[in-house]
């Protein structure tokens, strides 16, 4: 399916140059052809999608307004509740779970005219940086199917990059929208914590989780974010702050931009190709009139340690509910075994290795004798990281870094958990501090005979999505040749 933007598609449908049904048929055909190799989709809803497209076309024919998304085919990450299909969160524990309700973001998107074509794969319960920790197999990168798509929103990024839908909705707890967006060469936005309702998101780290869009363009991300954002009384952490018209804001005439670049953004821990590519991006911003301010940000080095205390602690609490009795995978009962033994076997069979690892880590840091030494100290570090960002943003609009220290790596290459956790070194701090952040395609890196996407990350103050997106739009438009495109372009 040729890649296009949501705005171009909606204009074509409204003008009669195409129909929603034609677009859905093309999308479903592309999924059928490409998904067996990529494993981006967990489940596809062809009959429901075609019926929804027919309703959109009928409304247009009758002169009605079908909504700002007007039949746009969109996929939903497998850990976001939909009444269509299953909500498995990439886990055997929830392999056949069917939600009785739609998440708030799903309600808002479908009300705006979007068509949900399917659920896409993810790392189990959102715990992973590569898409390999999925009970239903790894998702492959459309640019090189020997490589990972990134995680945990692996299917979302792969589907958009391969043209298997116009956009996808993922979740981001420590980089799970931005990392796969970088690895696959698409746009991924993590909103400010509380900007988008979490109602209907399978919880991993409740003080860190965010739902955000993955798209082909900054404008599309702004369109989806505007529709999804806003207060939801069903989510106690949902912000009541006003949501501006992000689409209009993004297109406002440019003003002077000041970007902070940490002195350690170019690091010996990065691939050399990433350092070179990032230097070219910084030079481009500078040459286009952006003021670049080099800053010291030593607390960034504590982000990973802080995250991998807080997130597992919250996961340990959130995943306690999956006991195989109330719901979730239940092991076959054995005569004479106790209820505790049945719990243990059910959880042992239902959870994958990485989820077990994080539950155990979280249980440890919350246990008596270790709570103050680890969990309480991590909470204090979180406050310091938040305050350090606040100080930096007093003198600049946003911070610019690479999204990841490396391009997409080969499937199975990072078997060591610590090696995998290092993928998150640039992304976790935005979740720790509750900021908005995004990954932008910034070119291609030649590596081992493959041309692989490279992404840069913008991090901005809380509720500064409009200015962050405006900076991203200016970059996207000023250097279109730098923007990596998917194989379908």
Annotated active-site positions, please? 77, 152, 176
Residues paired with 456 in a beta bridge: 402, 440
CA dist., res. 92 & res. 108, Å (int): 29
Residues 6+ apart with CB under 8 A from 231: 197, 238, 239, 240
Tokens of 19: 């129909």
Other residues' Cβ atoms within 10 Å of the Cβ of residue 57: 21
Spatial contact of 124 and 354, defined as CB atoms under 8 Å apart: yes
CA dist., res. 86 & res. 110, Å (int): 17
DSSP 371: I
CA dist., res. 339 & res. 330, Å (int): 12
Residues paired with 457 in a beta bridge: 401, 439
Tokens of 26: 């093309």
Tokens of 251: 């297109």
Cis peptide before 22 (omega within 30 of 0): no
Spatial contact of 417 and 438, defined as CB atoms under 8 Å apart: no
Tokens of 2: 């040729």
């Amino acid at each position: 399916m040729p890649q296009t933007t949501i705005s171009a598609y909606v204009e074509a449908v409204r003008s009669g140059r195409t129909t929603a049904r034609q677009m859905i048929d093309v999308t479903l055909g592309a999924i059928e052809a490409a998904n067996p190799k990529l494993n981006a989709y967990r489940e596809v809803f062809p009959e429901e999608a075609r019926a929804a497209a027919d309703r959109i076309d009928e409304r247009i024919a009758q002169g009605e307004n079908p909504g700002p998304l007007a039949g746009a085919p969109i996929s939903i990450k497998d850990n976001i509740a939909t009444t269509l299909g299953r909500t498995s969160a990439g886990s055997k524990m929830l392999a056949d779970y069917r939600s009785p309700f739609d998440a708030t973001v799903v309600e808002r998107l479908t009300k705006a005219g979007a068509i949900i074509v399917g659920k896409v794969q993810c790392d189990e319960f959102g715990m992973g940086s590569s898409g390999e920790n999925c009970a239903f197999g790894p998702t492959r990168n459309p640019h090189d199917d020997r490589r990972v798509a990134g995680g945990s929103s692996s299917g979302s990024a792969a589907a958009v990059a391969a043209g298997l839908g116009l956009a996808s909705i993922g979740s981001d707890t420590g980089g799970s929208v931005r990392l796969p967006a970088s690895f696959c060469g698409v746009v991924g936005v993590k909103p400010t914590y509380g900007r988008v309702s979490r109602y209907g998101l399978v919880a991993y780290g409740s003080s860190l989780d965010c739902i955000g869009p993955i798209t082909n363009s900054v404008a599309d991300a702004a369109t989806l974010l505007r529709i999804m954002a806003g207060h939801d009384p069903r989510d106690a952490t949902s912000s009541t702050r006003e949501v501006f018209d992000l689409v209009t804001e993004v297109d406002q005439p440019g003003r002077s931009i000041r970007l902070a670049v940490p002195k350690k953004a170019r690091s010996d821990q990065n691939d050399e190709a990433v350092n070179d590519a990032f230097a070219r991006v910084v030079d481009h911003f500078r040459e286009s009139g952006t003021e670049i301010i080099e800053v010291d940000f030593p607390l960034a080095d504590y982000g990973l340690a802080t995250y991998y205390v807080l997130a597992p602690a919250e996961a340990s609490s959130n995943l306690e509910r999956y006991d195989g009795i109330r719901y979730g995978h239940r092991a076959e009962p054995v005569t004479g075994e106790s209820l505790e033994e049945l719990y243990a076997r059910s959880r042992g069979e239902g959870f994958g290795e990485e989820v077990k690892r994080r539950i155990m880590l979280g249980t440890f840091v919350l246990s008596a004798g270790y709570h103050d030494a680890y969990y309480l100290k991590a909470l204090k570090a979180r406050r310091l990281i938040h305050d350090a960002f606040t100080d930096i943003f007093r003198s600049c609009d946003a911070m610019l870094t690479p999204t990841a220290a490396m391009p997409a790596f080969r499937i199975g290459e990072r078997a060591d958990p610590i090696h995998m956790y290092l993928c998150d070194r640039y992304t976790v701090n935005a979740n720790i501090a509750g900021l908005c952040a995004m990954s932008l395609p910034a070119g291609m890196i030649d590596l081992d005979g493959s041309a692989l996407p490279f992404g840069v990350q913008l991090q901005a103050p809380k509720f500064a999505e409009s200015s962050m997106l405006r900076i991203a739009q200016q970059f996207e438009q000023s250097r279109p040749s730098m923007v990596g495109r998917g194989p379908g372009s």
